[in-house]
Amino acid sequence: MKQVTLTSPSKINLFLEVLGRRDDGYHEICSIVVLTELCDTIILERRTSGITIWARDPKVPSGPDNLCHRAADLLLRYSGAHGGVNIRIEKHIPIAGGMGGGSSNAAATLWGLNLLYDLGWPREELTCLGSELGSDVPLFFCREAAFVRGRGERVDELAALAPRWLVIANPGMEISTASVYRRLRLPLTSEKAGFTMRNLVESGQEEAALSYCFNRLEDVVLEAYPSVANLKQRLLLLGASPVLVSGSGPTVFGIMREAEMAKRVASSLVESGIAAVACRTLEKNPLFATGE
């Protein structure tokens, strides 16, 4: 195999509680994550040596700072594979938008190189390797949805909800995840609500589960960035429910009752100059459509 093309999905956090700061400097979290149809495309091509990155979007780093570059370097070194890779990234997921685009791209790079060099590494081993790259990378090896704990490295498979229509909107800014965590003032928190939501999902009580949607990081994001708060309020007024910031933001998503409503709301946001799309949540991780 000389080339492989992969679909790299985005994620939204239906639930995200921050339990406290760990001794290693990371934060302990409890989160429920689902994947969405808003995806990037990653194209990997074998070369004799070296790693190159190409992306049309000038905001995408082209050197070692790119998480795909780091993922490729890590896997090639660990595996002892002789050769390199050209990596083409076609971006649609907002950059630094709280939807895990960079982490998803890194997971896709690991999976794709595993196929490209016929390494035969199991998904579990690639998940462990991904945890060395970033806290969100392991969750993108889930087959459906994920229940995430620790700093993000403890990922339990969770049956996905039935596909739901979303409006995903971005106010046109980037927010550093680290800066959000630095500003976070933590009250006494518990992962109990996360376990309750997980149990409701697993028992098929989806509407009840959605009543537990929550994101602790909103405390910081909505206060510090009025445009994000305004966007959330606008989606609520347009009929979305629930509406949450995804991850550390600034992307906001709202669950809609039906396709036409989602498309109409997304169009109205685009007409007012806000980047927005209507799409669905995914039942299956499209990454594994290649190679399994």
What is the rounded CA–CA span in Å between residue 10 and residue 25?
Answer: 26
11, 57, 65, 118: which is the annotated catalytic residue?
11
Q: Of the residues 23, 136, 263, 284, which is catalytic?
A: 136
Distance CA 162, CA 275 (A): 26
Asked whether 218 and 244 are in contact (CB, 8 A), the reply is: yes
Strand blocks (E) in 154-193: 154-158, 165-170
Residue (of 214, 236, 266, 204) closest to 12 by Cα position: 214
Residue 96 Cα to chain centre, angstroms: 10
* Strands laid side by side in the 275-280 sheet: 243-245, 252-256, 165-170, 275-280
Q: Is 2 a catalytic residue?
A: no
Q: What angle in degrees, to the nearest 10, is found between the helix axes of 123-131 and 101-116?
A: 140
Please choose, from the candidates 234, 291, 288, the residue with its C-alpha nearest in 3D space to the C-alpha of residue 265. 234
Question: Which tokens is 65 given?
Answer: 């700072």
Annotation marks residue 136 as catalytic: yes
The catalytic site residues sit at 11, 136
